[in-house]
Amino acid sequence: MNTASQTGAGERYVLEARSVVAGYGDKTILRELDLSIRPGEIVALLGANGAGKTTTLSLFLGFLAPRSGQVRVDGRDPVADPDGARRSLAYIPENVALYEHLSARENIAYLLALADQNEPAGAIGAALGAAGLDPAAHDRRVAGFSKGMRQKVAIALATMRKVPALLLDEPTSGLDPQATVEFNRLLTQLRAGGTGILMVTHDLLSAADVADRIGFLDAGVLREEVAASGADRFDVRALHRSYGGQAA
């Protein structure tokens, strides 16, 4: 049963933060954060270091409880129901952690098994192929994989888990331009399948290429949110002026 949050007439969200105040100890990081992501929507969150991007991810992952406000993952409270919430999302950190002594195929099989999901080797190979990993690398140990190759393994895993929400932390950091283009292509495929995606990033150009909305966090406040429109999608120069002022 789909338990995604519903607000208003027919609105459904797989990731939702409402009036959230959060922080660590005596320090407040997020102030009245309102952020919502629908199925099949990519939202990019930009901001300077310390703006609250990582704290936002921690809220959805259930690592941090809000001081006030509401956080939901597919309708579930990630603090009160962490197992239920985490079954509804996949998370790809900036540096993908894989088991170095296992192959790409073995990594996915093992990580799926941890989530009580068993898939045949052929299905895993198909997912790796769809993610753009060269078939010759499917059964190679990942110890020698580049960051881009590791990202493809992680995307294949996220695809096979068939979760409604995906969290990305600086997904294009360290990727060359071609690998970034390929990664964004994979994200559009996930979006087409109905996955709602939140990516926190410093890469404005990559975000403009793939995101449906771009939000700018400044000192824990979502100062601006811009939706893609028209053939050009975003006025990148205007976004750069906005983001540049906040990142300074």
On whether the CB atoms of residues 148 and 3 are closer than 8 A, the answer is no
Domain final position from 143, 162, 181: 162
Domain final position from 111, 130, 162: 162
Q: Which CATH number fits the domain that encloses residue 179?
A: 3.40.50.300
Domain final position from 140, 162, 184: 162
Residue 21 lies in a domain: yes
Residues 65, 111 within the same domain: no
Residue 93 lies in a domain: no
Residues 60, 153 within the same domain: no
Residues 242, 158 within the same domain: no
pLDDT of residue 169: 93
Mean pLDDT in each 10-residue stretch from start to end of the chain (248 residues)? 48 94 95 96 94 95 96 96 92 90 96 89 93 93 92 89 92 83 88 94 91 94 92 86 63
Choose among 43, 47, 48, 95: nearest CA to 207: 43
Residues 155, 182 within the same domain: no
Residues 190, 152 within the same domain: no
Residues 31, 131 within the same domain: no
Residues 82, 174 within the same domain: yes
Q: Output the pTM of the full model.
A: 0.87
Residues 105, 225 within the same domain: no
On whether the CB atoms of residues 242 and 216 are closer than 8 A, the answer is yes
Instruction: Provide the domain count of the chain.
Output: 2
Range of the domain at 201: 5-88+164-247
Residues 178, 124 within the same domain: no
pLDDT of residue 2: 41
Residues 11, 64 within the same domain: yes
